[in-house]
Amino acid sequence: MPKSRTYPSSRLDQLRALAEKVDGLPLSAGPHLLAKSLAEAGDVPGGVALLRCYSTDHPDDFPSHYELGRMLERLKPPQTDEAIVAYAVARALRPATGHELAHALARRGRDEEAAAVFRGLVGPSHPSFDIRDAACYGVFLKERSRLDEAGTASHALIVAAHRIIRDAPADTAGARQRSQALAYLKAELAGWSRILDSGRPTARGHVRRAMEGWKISERLGYSPFEERLLAQLPEAERGAWRALRNEAESLLDSARNGDH
């Protein structure tokens, strides 16, 4: 536990003492924060023990279930099956928080359940518009050659990116959100490009449909590449988005014309 070496031992003792008393603390004291402090101090098992107790006694406390899941995955070795249970409880309490649950299920090879959770996050009933959901769902699907569904995830990614370009404030935090969205779209495009390069018989049709989806979104007004939105961005950012739009168009051309 290398981190504990740089962490003041008196602080760690205080936290441990607090952790022992946690059952007497009000919910507002945030046991999940206490557990995180323990973990940051190098004592992940201590954080896990604390949250196991607390979450059992407080079944409605979302943060303790969610953080328990995170910490169980940080244990060596990770306790993924137990983390899945903790994440599932957290998701039952807050349906938009299934992202880590989906990843944990996928890590255990429970692909159908992982896909269902991801689908729920980006689908019409729970459109979280958290761009991570559509991005990671797309990676998950492409890695498993589930390319029809990957086209749908790509669509959700475009919608989420559109919302970021439209709504992110013009400050540093907004710039960070836009740059994250740009990175996700670049990775998405690179993923489709690799699929086209794979030469699989059905690849071309899938890539064409996915990239046509990107173009259609421009016509229908939910694309991140719309000029009226890009025109409001700082010069340097605008160029990067236009360059990406051009790359998407040339990938579509390649998929249509067979020169890839």
Q: Which residues in this chain contact Zn ion in the complex, by CB under 5 A?
A: 136
Tokens of 143: 């890695």
Q: Which residue of this chain has its Cβ atom nearest to Zn ion in the complex?
A: 136
Contacts of range 237-241, beta carbons closer than 8 Å, 24 or more positions apart = 237/175, 237/178, 237/179, 237/182, 240/182, 241/165, 241/182
Least distance from C-beta 253 to Zn ion, angstroms?
A: 31
Minimum distance of Zn ion from residue 158's CB (angstroms): 18
Q: Which is nearer to Zn ion, 149 or 253 (CB)?
A: 149
- Note every long-range contact of 167-175, with CB atoms under 8 Å and residues 24 or more positions apart, other chains counting: 170/232, 175/234, 175/237
Q: State which residue, 134 or 136, has the beta carbon closest to Zn ion.
A: 136
How far is the first Cα of the chain from the last one, in angstroms, to the nearest whole number? Answer: 50
**Smaller CB separation from Zn ion, 83 or 136:** 136
Residue 232: closest CA among 169, 161, 158:
169
Our measurement of the distance from residue 20's CA atom to the centroid of its chain's CA atoms, rounded to an integer in Å, reads 34
Nearer to Zn ion, 114 or 159 (CB): 114
Give min distance, CB of 99 to Zn ion, in A.
6
Query: Which residue do the tokens 């259609």 mark?
Result: 216
Torsion of CA 251, 252, 256, 258, to 10 degrees: 0
Q: Is the peptide bond before 169 cis (omega within 30 degrees of 0)?
A: no
Of 135 and 255, the one with the shorter C-beta distance to Zn ion is 135
User: Taking the complex as a whole, how short is the minimal distance between the CB of residue 68 and Zn ion, in angstroms?
Assistant: 19
Q: Which is nearer to Zn ion, 130 or 218 (CB)?
A: 130
CB of 245 to Zn ion, least distance (A): 25
The C-alpha angle 210, 155, 87, rounded to 5 degrees, equals 125
- Rounded to the nearest whole angstrom, what is the least distance from the CB of residue 137 to Zn ion in the complex? 8
Structure tokens at 98: 């299934």
